Structure formats: structure tokens, C-alpha cells
Amino acid sequence: MSRLGDSPIWQSFRRKPAGLIGLAIVIVILLAAILADWIAPYPTHAGPIGDFAAISAPPSAQYWFGTDAIGRDLLTRILFAYRLSLELAAVVLAIATPVGVVIGLLAGYLGPVPSWLLMRLTDVFLSIPPLVLAMSIMGFLEPSAIHGMMAVTAMWWPWYARLTYNLTRAERQEGYVLAAETVGAGLPHILFREILPNCMPSIFTKMIIDVGFVILIASSLSFLGLGAQAPTPDLGSMVADGAKYMPDGWWLTVFPALAILLVVMGFNLLGDALREAVDARR
Amino acid sequence: MPPLLKTLLHRLIASLVVLAGVSMLMFAIARLIPGDPARIALGPNATEEQVRILRHDRHLDQPVPEQYWFYVTELAHGNLGNSLYSNRPVAVDIAQYLPATLELVLTSGLLMVAIGIPVGILSARYRGKIGDHASRLLALAGVSTPAFVWGVILQLVFAYMLHLFPIEGRLSTAITPPPLVTGFVTIDAILSGNVVALVDAWHHLVLPALALAAAGIGQSARLTRNSMVETYQKPFIEMARAYGFRESRIASRYAFRPALVPVLTILGLDLAALLGNAFLVEAVFGWPGLSRYGVEVILHKDLDAIVGVVLIISTAFLLANIAVDIAVAIVNPRIRLAGGR
């Protein structure tokens, strides 16, 4: 802890109120998602069955965010939906980042032909609007949370390929890379032991911001009915379902919508402040 | 060759390469996914015979390289295949739904520029003041909120609660649509001199266009601001100040133009987001564009139609980016005169 406290990045980060607010939001949401089983007021409402005595109840002291058309507590469902969203984002980034980073490293370090091929491949993926690409992949799969995850992963790696490519291009002329080449270091050593560590801060801060944006895209897919299916609690499909009860059942739409806004904004603020702190150190 | 033309040609060729890549990618996705595309398209109730006929019609019983060849030659003839969902050629379906989507996307793009850039300029001039902080907060909210959330919130407040705008659709049912010329209701109304339809169409367009533009307005405002702040620190601004030019003249004539280049470049990329997010906004406002068709064909596993929709959207995106490149070249004398990179 003392090492973290002394690090220049933390010293710079702690002076940014926006970043600290983001950090607070992220910690609260992470805790809420992990502890959902214990802190949710009606844990059984995460499934298909609600309380038929309390159908479509507006927000009250008993149900803070109200209940839905079959009497399920909305707050409970949002907490469990956070858990699903965060799991999804973690899986997507855990797969998309290494793939993109390896392609970016290779394209940035190797000669012009492999570099041209790899970056044109990246361009092809980037020339289809992200949501449309994910949707078209869903077109060949049955809608479900897992398939949604696969579709988002397939569209996410090119961003890391492009970022890592640009970073690698900047690093490959640095003295330490030339030194490693001179002593005859192999390709994997140069890419992963020399260049990659210097790209890590930028990649890592992008990952933090992207947690929010993966959740945003995934909720967009499920809003269109192409993601998690009922009765799984999911932020996007909750907004879509709630829209059917507008304007009288406004809470069914407004609270899940605000929940998406909060999580995306939290990771955005945190990631931005981290990036500024990392850049300031350089 | 004039430098501008050279830039244009260069971009056009690069875009065609990427588009060929997109067609290959879509072909690969459609063939790599496990299962028989014909069986998936016809559903579990179709007979073996029906599946076999469809497989033969679509050349699915041929080796993969020949399948790709058929697919490419059909594409080259502008034939996108037939939709199993609507029983019509995909090109006809797309021609029917695309104008509504383009009208929405282009209006949002205009809003992004018309609102985002002035807000950014004002934020840069009053840097660190309350208005600057407010615009920063709004920009953050804009980027952090999915388009469909903006849609439902705007709809709830301005349509359901305040009754200021219609809830959904493109034109009131009481109004006779103007004769079809461009497919853009607003332009068709102007062409036929139908003021009532024009006002009604604009009335319907406001909320969806705002919902779609919200993220881009915030982003372009922030970009303009940061770019202007950077330009203000350049020596030529100091020089203009030393000459005693008025602040408004410095802002509009000297600081704005160089600051516009990075903003325009990012706007081109933002169009991808607009085209994708149009699907969400159309779903919220019952907008009769490509979205409903796109989602339906996806749910019906309509292969040709899915590929067609993706190809058309990618083409629109690439064309828009070329347009943005030309705009950048016109604004930036270094590119305009020197001829690209």
C-alpha cells in the first residue's frame, strides 16, 4: 500500500476530483454487484417470479425504485444486472485486449507487408459501425447473453490493435529496442519483454474506460432484443420492457437508464483521470 | 492532377479495398458460423427437400471458393439477393427504408455541428468559467449515455409529459405524405411546396435527431474547445492581438479555422456511431427506417438481407468519411495545396 501511495501516478491522480468521484462510483458499483445476494432487498426477484401483491408499484419506502409488471423489485434486478454487465465486460476485455494487442505489436514491429495486411484487416472491422457489426454477428446466432458477449468481443479487438500499433511504431526506434536487436534478442522477447511493458499504461487506462463502453454496447444489443433474454436481469432489456409502460410506469425505464449512465460515467471518469495521470508522469 | 483530386482518388481506391474486405468478412461470418445457412434460414419446420432446393438456389452446395465467386459477381451487378423475410429483392427493401435512416442521421450530424461547435467555441473563450464546467459535464453525460436512453428520456419529458412533440413516427396520420421524390420527407415536402407536411415532418424529426446527436454534440463541443484552447496559445494569435484586432474577429477568423481540422476528422468517425445508433433511436421513436427491417431480418436469420444491410451501412460510412476528408482538405491549406500525405 505504501508503494502505491508514493507512486507518482497516484500522487497526480489524487488531485483530480473527477477521477476520485469516478473511483468512488466504480467501487460502489463493484461492491453492489459482488454483494448483490446479500444486499439486494428481494434476492429471489432476480428470477422470473415476483410478488403478485405488489404489481407495478411506484417507488416507495418499501420498493425504492418501484416494482415491474409482475411485482419484482426493480432495485434488486438492477443490482443483479450490474453483476451480469460487469462479468460480460470482464470477459470481453479479457479476450479482445490480448488479441488486439498481439496483432498491433506484430503490425507495428514487422515489415511493411505484414503490417499493411494486418492494419487493412483492422480497417475492415473498423469500417462497420460497432453496433451494426455486433448485430450482424448476432444475426447468425441465437440471441443470448453469451452470444452477445461473443459478438461484442469480435468487434472490440480492432481498437486495441490500432492503439498498440501506433504505440509500437513510436517505440520501435527507441534505443532500448535497438539495443535488444543488437544483442540478438528474439522476436517474442522484443515484443513482449521490451516493447509491451512500455505500452501497458496506455492499454490499461483504455481498458478501464472500455469497461463502461462495453456495458453500453452490450446494453444496446439487449435493448434491441439481441442480448440476454428474460428472465435474466439485464439493463438494456429492462429499459426496453419499461418503455412499454410509458409514461405511467416511468420508473421502469428511468432507473435502469440511470443505472447505465452511472456505470459508464464512473469508468469514464476514472479512466480519463488515470490517463491524464499517466501522461503527466511522462 | 490537382492535389485535391489526387487526395480524393486515393481515398476512393482505399475505400474500395476496405469495402471488398467488408464483403469478404460478411461472407466469412455467414459461412463460418456452425450450422447450415439454408436450414437456419428456413427454420426447423422446413422439409429436407425445401432445404435442398434453397441450398441449390444459393449455390450453397458448391465448394466455398465458388460460393464466394457467385456472391461477388452478384454483388458487382448490384444484386443483393432476395429477402426471405419480405419475399422481395433486398435492394428494393433497402431502397425503401434507407432514406428515412439517412434523413435522421444527416439531421443529427447537422445538429452535432450546429450545436457542438458553437458551444465549444464559447467554452474556449470563457475557459474555467461556470459555462465551461457545465458544458464539460453535459459532454460527459452525452458520451456516457446510450442513444436509446436519451431517446426514452426525451420522449418521456417532451412528448409524454409536456406534449411539445409527437411520441413517434415520421409524419402525422392526418397529413397526406408529399409525393415520393428523394424519400426524405422534409425535402419532398419542400419540393412539392407542402408547408404543412414540412412543419409536421420537422416536428417529428426533432426528438429522434436530438437523441441520436446527444453523444456527438458533447464530443464535438469538447473537441472544439480543446482544439481552440490549443490554437489560442499559438504565436499568430498573439500577433493578431498585438495588431489590436477585436476578440470576436480573432475567434472567428484566426483561431477557429485551424481548430476545425481535428474536429472534422473526429466527426467523420462519429458518423459510424450515428449510423449504428440510428438503430436504437429508430426503435424508440417507431421511425420507419432500416432499423426495424434490420432487427427483423436478424431475428429471422435472413442471410442475404443481413449482408445487404451491413454492406449498405458500411458504404454510407465510407462515403461520409471521404466527404469529411474533402472538407478537411478545403479547410486546411497544407492539405489543399500540397496534395495529401
- Give the end-to-end CA distance of chain A in Å, rounded to a whole number: 23
Q: Which three cell numbers stand for residue A49?
A: 417470479
Are A128 and B22 a contacting pair at CB < 8 A?
A: yes
Q: Which long-range contacts (CB under 8 A, 24 or more apart) does B65-68 make?
A: B67/B27, B67/B31, B68/B24, B68/B27
A250 touching B (Cβ < 8 Å): yes
pLDDT at A1: 47
Residue B92 burial (CB count, 10 A): 12
pLDDT higher than threshold 90 for residue A164: yes
Are B283 and A129 a contacting pair at CB < 8 A?
A: no
Q: Which three cell numbers stand for residue B256?
A: 477557429
- On chain B, the residues whose CB falls within 8 A of the CB of A135 are 279, 294-295, 298
Residue A33 burial (CB count, 10 A): 18
Where is pLDDT greater, at A178 or B55?
A: A178
Contact at 8 Å (CB) between A39 and A75?
no
Interface test with chain A among B39, B145, B152, by most A beta carbons within 10 Å: B152
Are A128 and B156 a contacting pair at CB < 8 A?
A: no
Nearest CB to B280 within list A121, A136, A223 = A223
pLDDT at B335: 60
Contact at 8 Å (CB) between B24 and B307?
no
B25 touching A (Cβ < 8 Å): yes
Rounded Cα distance, A226 and A220, in Å? 9
For residue A63, the one-letter residue type is Y
Q: Which three cell numbers stand for residue B43?
A: 427454420
ipTM score:
0.83
B146 touching A (Cβ < 8 Å): yes
- Minimal CA separation from B160 to chain A, in Å: 6
Helix ranges, B77-168 (H)? 90-111, 117-125, 130-144, 147-154
Are A132 and B283 a contacting pair at CB < 8 A?
A: no
A264 touching B (Cβ < 8 Å): yes
Q: What is the pLDDT along chain B (341 residues), one digit of tens a residue?
A: 677 777 778 888 888 888 888 888 888 877 776 667 677 777 777 788 888 887 787 777 778 788 888 878 888 887 887 787 788 888 889 988 999 999 999 899 889 888 988 888 888 888 888 888 888 888 888 888 889 999 998 998 898 888 888 888 888 877 777 887 787 888 888 888 888 888 888 889 999 999 999 988 888 888 888 888 888 888 888 888 888 888 778 877 777 777 777 777 777 777 878 888 898 999 889 898 888 888 888 877 777 888 888 888 888 888 888 888 788 777 776 666 554 44
Report the SS3 class of residue B89.
strand
User: In chain B, whose CA is at the least distance from the CA of A260?
Assistant: B145
- On chain A, the residues whose CB falls within 8 A of the CB of B275 are 129, 132
A245 touching B (Cβ < 8 Å): no
- On chain B, the residues whose CB falls within 8 A of the CB of A247 are 156, 160-161
Rounded Cα distance, B110 and B129, in Å? 27
**Per-residue pLDDT tens over the stretch A57-111:** 788 877 788 888 777 888 888 999 999 999 999 999 999 999 999 999 999 998 8
pTM here? 0.86
Helix axis angle, A250-281 to B147-154, nearest 10°: 140
Report the SS3 class of residue B82.
strand
For residue B279, the one-letter residue type is F
CA B297, chain centre distance (Å): 20
Which of 301-340 (B) contact A at CB < 8 A?
301-303, 306-307, 309-310, 313-314, 317-318
Radius of gyration of chain B (CA): 24
User: In chain A, whose CA is at the least distance from the CA of B28?
Assistant: A137
Nearest CB to A127 within list B18, B29, B153 = B18
Tell me the Ramachandran region of residue B193: left when phi exceeds 0, alpha when psi lies from -120 to 50, beta otherwise. Answer: left
Distances (CA, A) of A241 to A5, A54, A229, B205, B212: 46, 18, 11, 24, 20
- The conformation of residue A67, written as its DSSP 8-state character, comes to B
Rounded Cα distance, A98 and A102, in Å? 6
Nearest CB to A220 within list B153, B280, B309 = B280
Are B317 and A128 a contacting pair at CB < 8 A?
A: yes
Nearest CB to A124 within list B25, B145, B277 = B25
Rounded Cα distance, B340 and B334, in Å? 8
B69 touching A (Cβ < 8 Å): no
